[in-house]
Amino acid sequence: MAIYLDHAATTPMRPELIEGYLAQLQVVGNPSSVHGSGQKARRAVEDARDRLAVTLGCHRSEVLFTSGGTESNNLAIKGLFLQRFGEDPNRKMVITAGTEHHAGIDPVEWLESAEGAEAVWAPVDTMGVIDLDWLRDFLAKNAERVALISFMWVNNETGLVTPIAAITEMAGKYGIPVHSDAVAAFGHVPIIFKESGLATMAVSGHKLGAPVGVGALIAARAAKLAVTSHGGGQERGIRSGTLSSPLAYAFAEAAALAEAERDALHDRLESFKQQIVKAVLEIAPNANFTRGDKPGFAGIIHFTFPGCSGDSLLFLLDSAGVSVSTGSACRAGVAQASHVIMAMGRTEDEARGSLRISLGYTTTQSDVEGFITAFSGVYQRAVKAGLPSQ
C-alpha cells in the first residue's frame, strides 16, 4: 500500500470541503461584475475572506487572495522593497537568510540584480538558527539603510521554527517592516497576525488541504507596498486578477479545519516523529537528525546520512511504496544538493545525504510502521551505493 510522507510538498485535499468546492465551481459569475450572478460569486469570496481573517487573526481587509505562496512572497518582498527604497534610496538592504525557500530568496536576488538592492544574509548556525545577537547589532549600526527583513516562520526542509516575535520586536524599534513566509507554518503552529508584529505574511492553500493554486498575502493595513503586478486593481490594487470563488472557499474551509485540529494533530505527529527519529537512529546510527533539540514543527523530520545519497534513499523507498523527499530543489529536472543545508554551513556531500519525511493530517500509525520497515529494508543498499560522483 502506498505510504505518503511528503506533506510539506503538498497535502491531500480535505474530503470535507469537496462538496462545497464542487458547488462553488458551478456558480457562474465574475466576483467583480455588478449583476446578481457576479455578486453571488463575490459573496462567496467575501465569506472566505472573513473566515480566513478569523483563522489568521487579522482584519478582513488584510487578506489578499493570490495563487499561492510564491506569488505572495514576490508581491510582499518586491512591494515592500520598492516602496521603501523609492521613499529613501539609502534604504537598499534586504536582510534575509540562505535557509529560506527559493520563493523567498529569488525575489531578493532579483531585486539585487535589477533594482539596486543589497542582500544581507543573516548568519545561521548548523541547525539553521538565526543569530539574533548579530541581528540586534546589525540593526543598531545600519537600521536607516534597511528596507525590510524577510524570514520564514517554519523552515520547510528542517521544520525549524523562527522566533518571529523577537525579530519583529527588534525591527519595530526602527520602523523596519518584516515579511514572513508562513507557508510551512500555517495550520501547524499558532499564528495570530495582528499580534505578530509582521507587515506582511505569505500563506498557501495546498499545504493544508486546499487545492493547489490559491494562497494569500496578508498585508497589514499600515503596510505600504509598491504595486508590482498591474491590472484590474483587485485586492487593494496589490494583486490584480479575477478572483476564484471556488478556490477562496476551499482555502478558507481547509484553513478552518486545519486550525480546529491543530493541537490534536500536533500531539499525534509529535508521537510519530519520536518513533521515526528513534527507529532511524537505531537503523542508521551515524545519521544526524538535523534539528537536534531546537524548537521545531513535529511534522517535518530531516536527517543527513553521511556517505549515503538522499536520492538513492528516495528512489529505493519509492520502489517500496513510500513517498518522501530529499528536500532539495529539483530545478529543470536536475536534482541539486539542498541550498538550505549548505546555508547551514554543511558540506555539499552532507547536503546530498538529506532525507525529509513530512507528516500530515492523514498520517496514521500504520504509515509510520510501514516507513520504518521500508527504511530498514533499503538503508544498507543505499549505503552500498554511496554518493554519486559529481
Ligand X SMILES: Cc1ncc(COP(=O)(O)O)c(C=O)c1O
- Residues in contact with ligand X by CB under 6 A are 68-70, 101, 103, 152, 156, 181, 183-184, 204, 215
In the complex with ligand X, which residue's Cβ is closer, 281 or 329?
329
Interacting residues of 8 by C-beta distance below 8 A, sequence separation 6+: 156, 157, 184, 207, 299, 300, 325, 356, 358
In the complex with ligand X, which residue's Cβ is closer, 5 or 184?
184
Q: Which residue carries 510551512 as its cell?
A: 184
In the complex with ligand X, which residue's Cβ is closer, 74 or 168?
74
Least CB distance to ligand X at residue 162 (A): 11
Least CB distance to ligand X at residue 241 (A): 15
Choose among 171, 222, 180: nearest CA to 201: 180
Options 169, 330, 366, 381, the catalytic residue: 330
Q: State the Cα–Cα distance between residues 286 and 383, nearest whole angstrom.
A: 11
Q: State the Cα–Cα distance between residues 354 and 346, nearest whole angstrom.
A: 11
Cβ atoms 73, 210 nearer than 8 A: no
DSSP string, 285-340: TT-EETTTTS-B-TTEEEEE-TTS-HHHHHHHHHHTTEE-B----EETTEE---HH
In the complex with ligand X, which residue's Cβ is closer, 184 or 344?
184
DSSP string, 152-207: -SB-TTT-BBP-HHHHHHHHHTTT--EEEE-TTTTTTS---HHHH--SEEEEESTT
In the complex with ligand X, which residue's Cβ is closer, 138 or 157?
157
> Is 58 assigned a catalytic role?
no
Residues pairing with 363 in the sheet: none
Least CB distance to ligand X at residue 179 (A): 12
Q: State the Cα–Cα distance between residues 188 and 182, nearest whole angstrom.
A: 10
In the complex with ligand X, which residue's Cβ is closer, 182 or 280?
182
Interacting residues of 3 by C-beta distance below 8 A, sequence separation 6+: 321, 322, 323, 367, 370, 371, 374
Least CB distance to ligand X at residue 75 (A): 12
The three-state secondary structure class of 76 is helix
Least CB distance to ligand X at residue 117 (A): 20
Residue 322, φ and ψ in degrees, nearest 5:
-115, 125
Least CB distance to ligand X at residue 67 (A): 7
Positions marked catalytic: 330
